[in-house]
Structure 1
Amino acid sequence: MAESVQTPSAAKAATRGGFMAAIFLMATSAIGPGFITQTATFTATLGAAFAFAIVASILIDFVVQMNIWRITALTGKRASDTANAAIPGSGYLLTVLVVIGGVAFNMGNIAGAGLGMNAMFGLEPKVGGAISAFLAIGVFLAKRAGVLLDRLMILLGLMMIAMTVVVAIISNPPVGEALRQSVLPDVLDFATITTIVGGTVGGYITYAGAHRMLDKGLAGEHNLVAVTRASLTGIAVTGVMRFVLFLAILGVVTSGVTLDLSGHAANPAGQAFAAALGEWGMRVFGLIFWAAAITSVIGAAYTSVSFLTVFRDMDERGRNMATVAFIAVSLAIYLAIGTAPAALLVFVGGFNGLILPIGFTIFMYVGYARPDLLGGHHYNRILLALGALVCLLTWYMGFKSIGPIFAFLAV
């Protein structure tokens, strides 16, 4: 039987599809239930001035993701293997941090999926969370798990953007004022920038798209231009979603609606959608919130397991089974303790603040001093300079997060 040969057009389509999968895994991982809730909360308290924090987070995201994607493409290794090659043993440390943070984050993501189902169908959140976790498990048990994963992330990502754009148009936000305060904010709150950056580019999120790109075979210096273009596209998709969500809620806030931020049951994002769309607003919010949560469940599990290969090499089926186990463990812990306690969330936030600077520092070291790991490629000095500045900023954020970690351990 003649061996099938892939035509140039088919190869180009496969490459484009691989990059699209990586782009949307990165974007949907960065837009989780925590980010949606934080955006509503900060918009309610800061108003249009929160636009500056959104833009700042996008700029930091640009520097981090551009460097992570390009260096990953040049090394052809996952972050844990790159770290071990650069500084022996550091990859194991990074893996432990990512996996611990990933399990805890997934508990919050499963809880978010449950809240989304509660808003859509009135299901008890634990039941909705369990159903969502089993749906995520089903993705990795499917015969063509990789194809299903890619298509699901793209579909849900586009759906989230489209529905949020509709809400933003209906809420009629003051776009001009938001754009002005993107550059010249009336209030500058560094704590909000720290929180948003940690929630959108910290932890496993940093590596989600780059590892998917690697698994699609899109590494090597010959792919560097395409990798750069894809990472820019991913950052743009993420940035558009962040800013449109902010505008949707800003329109509600500036219309005179006061969002209730008090108490553990407060749901400012749901309130904003209900105010904009009336009776159906909460259901639309539920669908967007659920989509953000389920994609984050999948992204956290997939990326965390991709780090575990530093301990033991696994084929695709082995990684899928490990990912199923990862989601099942996260679900079991969530069901045992309910929605994640506040102390645990603080602890996870502290870990999130530490993972980014540790991993990013190693990548910057590789870019500066280890061309041997980059196939002899002399890395872009402008990106390295920008990376160094952002690296210092992330270390400052990390030090700010150490206190909550010790407070948790002392309990």
Structure 2
Amino acid sequence: MSALDTEKKAFISHRRSSLIAAIFLMATSAIGPGFITQTTAFTSTMGAAFAFGILASIVIDFVVQQNIWRVVTLTRMRAADVANATLPGSGYLLAVLVLFGGLIFNIGNIAGAGLGMHAMFGISPKLGGLISALFAMWIFSSRRASTAIDRLMVVLGLLMILLMVGVMFVTHPPVGEALYQTILPDSIDFATITTIVGGTVGGYISYAGAHRLLDKGLSGPEHIEAVSSAANKGILVVGIMRYVLFLAILGVVASGVTLDLSGQAANPASQAFYYALGDVGVRLFGFIFWAAALTSVIGAAYTSVSFITVFKKTLTERQRSIATLIFIAISLGVYLLLGTAPAALLVFAGGFNGLILPVGLTLFVYVGWRRADLMGGYHYPRWLLWSGVLVCLLTWYMGALSVGTIFSFLEIV
């Protein structure tokens, strides 16, 4: 084999591993403890009709991720830099929103990791959160942090899917009814769609995979087909994880079990797994919840800190690693100080999350329409731009709802 063939083979292998890493970083960031809890609650109250909400979130996710992944990789710039190039100063606003929202949500992610370890081993949630956060910090402090993050995301992502599929088969959900209601639901609750989209598409999650590809060097028009394909596969992975979890919970609810959603009892998802598999189910729930939380801690830290470069262009890799450790340490410190992730704080973060998506997406769709110069003359697909416009309008409506959430929080404090 010639040196040229060896070099080509190494490049193909690097590109494949980079694309897989971006796919799972985005997918696992989108499936956090909040999503698992929300899915359980909505499935318990809406039954099979919630399948439509899952489908709606996947369609919106497709439009958002395709636009953001394309623009970031075509312009070879991080999201905040793209925003500044489009509307001077807007990138700083976007960065502040992502950093602040990501920090608040990371408190909830660490709390979720603590609850997962409590379910697995019976240790206190606070100790479990401490151990999980320290583990995430150890990953980022490793000399091969980039490779470690990629592998951990893939392994934990696959394990979550396999375990959820196993639970789904045990609970025997009414799959036919779920598929029917996915297209023709008995009822549509727009509030649930807003909540799911805000927690699984908005905020830092929208930019996780795109920034990972940029760090891996996969940018420019020459990689656009691979990037677009990777975005599709990432959305497919997220869709499978969302739908399988929904079916697993639906099987329990359809059997006649009533889950306690009062907030005074244990996590409703833990109850569902207990009814399905007994004590073993609680342990499985603990691992899934912990894995979802830990990957979200890593995804939130990595992506949020990647926005810091808009303030300091010459940030070295070591400085970014230190900033990431500080980011996790602050989240951990607040969690340990408070003992829990206060509901009002998470509601406030959710309101901010609802504002981030429309701000960023609007700028990115504008780049697709008017700034071909930033994308090397690339001819942007018109169908994707029109889809982006429709989703923009929808997310601005969601953002308006989020403003109400923020004012409600200010009244509380």
Which whole-Å deviations, capped at 9, do the CAs of 1:141-193 have from their partners, x for residues lacking one? 11100000100000000000000000001111000000000000011111000
In the TM superposition, what is the alpha-carbon distance from 1:384 to its structure 2 partner? 0.1
Distance in 1 between residues matched to 2:279 and 2:154, nearest whole Å? 28
| Structure 1 range deviating more: 240-249 or 334-343 | 334-343
Show the counterpart of 1:259.
259
Distance in 2 between residues matched to 1:123 and 1:232, nearest whole Å? 39
1:166 paired to 2:166: yes
In the TM superposition, what is the alpha-carbon distance from 1:266 to its structure 2 partner? 3.8
In the TM superposition, what is the alpha-carbon distance from 1:318 to its structure 2 partner? 1.7
In the TM superposition, what is the alpha-carbon distance from 1:407 to its structure 2 partner? 2.1
Distance in 2 between residues matched to 1:349 and 1:138, nearest whole Å? 28
Q: One-letter code of the match for 2:383? A: I
Show the counterpart of 1:298.
298
In the TM superposition, what is the alpha-carbon distance from 1:325 to its structure 2 partner? 0.7
In the TM superposition, what is the alpha-carbon distance from 1:281 to its structure 2 partner? 0.5
| Structure 1 range deviating more: 253-262 or 281-290 | 253-262
1:397 paired to 2:398: yes
Change (3 A) 1:26 1:369: same
Which whole-Å deviations, capped at 9, do the CAs of 1:205-251 have from their partners, x for residues lacking one? 00001000110000000000000000000000000000000000000
Gaps of 5+ in 1: none
Show the counterpart of 2:87.
87
Q: One-letter code of the match for 2:138? A: G
Show the counterpart of 1:352.
353
Which whole-Å deviations, capped at 9, do the CAs of 1:326-383 have from their partners, x for residues lacking one? 0001101111112121211111110010000001111011111111111121211110
1:223 paired to 2:223: yes
SS at match of 1:188: coil
In the TM superposition, what is the alpha-carbon distance from 1:5 to its structure 2 partner? 9.1
SS at match of 1:88: coil
Distance in 2 between residues matched to 1:83 and 1:333, nearest whole Å? 31
Change (3 A) 1:122 1:19: same
SS at match of 1:378: coil
Gaps of 5+ in 2: none
| Structure 1 range deviating more: 341-350 or 158-167 | 341-350
| RMSD over aligned Cα atoms | 1.2
1:151 paired to 2:136: no
Show the counterpart of 1:54.
54
Distance in 2 between residues matched to 1:192 and 1:249, nearest whole Å? 16
Distance in 2 between residues matched to 1:83 and 1:266, nearest whole Å? 42
Show the counterpart of 1:205.
205
Distance in 2 between residues matched to 1:244 and 1:136, nearest whole Å? 27
Show the counterpart of 1:8.
8
In the TM superposition, what is the alpha-carbon distance from 1:409 to its structure 2 partner? 2.2
Which whole-Å deviations, capped at 9, do the CAs of 1:40-90 have from their partners, x for residues lacking one? 000000000000000000000000001110111110100001001111000
Distance in 2 between residues matched to 1:264 and 1:204, nearest whole Å? 30
Q: One-letter code of the match for 2:365? A: M
Show the counterpart of 1:97.
97
Show the counterpart of 2:364.
363
Q: Which runs of 4+ in 1 moved over 6 A?
A: none
| Structure 1 range deviating more: 198-207 or 399-408 | 399-408
1:378 paired to 2:388: no
In the TM superposition, what is the alpha-carbon distance from 1:30 to its structure 2 partner? 0.1
Which whole-Å deviations, capped at 9, do the CAs of 1:4-47 have from their partners, x for residues lacking one? 99521121011000000000000000000000000000000000
1:301-320 → structure 2 map (5 Å cutoff): 301-313=301-313, 314-320=315-321
In the TM superposition, what is the alpha-carbon distance from 1:263 to its structure 2 partner? 2.5
Distance in 2 between residues matched to 1:75 and 1:225, nearest whole Å? 15
Which whole-Å deviations, capped at 9, do the CAs of 1:81-135 have from their partners, x for residues lacking one? 1001111000000000000001100000000000000000011101100100000
Distance in 1 between residues matched to 2:367 and 2:217, nearest whole Å? 21
Q: One-letter code of the match for 1:71? A: V
Show the counterpart of 1:190.
190
SS at match of 1:309: helix
Show the counterpart of 1:26.
26
Distance in 2 between residues matched to 1:217 and 1:169, nearest whole Å? 41
Distance in 1 between residues matched to 2:388 and 2:340, nearest whole Å? 36
Distance in 2 between residues matched to 1:4 and 1:264, nearest whole Å? 64
Q: One-letter code of the match for 2:353? A: N
Show the counterpart of 1:332.
333
In the TM superposition, what is the alpha-carbon distance from 1:316 to its structure 2 partner? 1.9
Which whole-Å deviations, capped at 9, do the CAs of 1:302-336 have from their partners, x for residues lacking one? 00000001111322222111111100011011111
SS at match of 2:307: helix
Q: Normalization by structure 1: what TM-score? A: 0.98
Q: One-letter code of the match for 1:104? A: I
Q: One-letter code of the match for 1:349? A: G
Show the counterpart of 2:72.
72
Q: One-letter code of the match for 2:348? A: F
Which whole-Å deviations, capped at 9, do the CAs of 1:245-295 have from their partners, x for residues lacking one? 000000011111111111344411111111111120000000000000000
Q: One-letter code of the match for 2:396? A: W
1:122 paired to 2:119: no
Q: One-letter code of the match for 1:287? A: F
Q: One-letter code of the match for 1:137? A: M
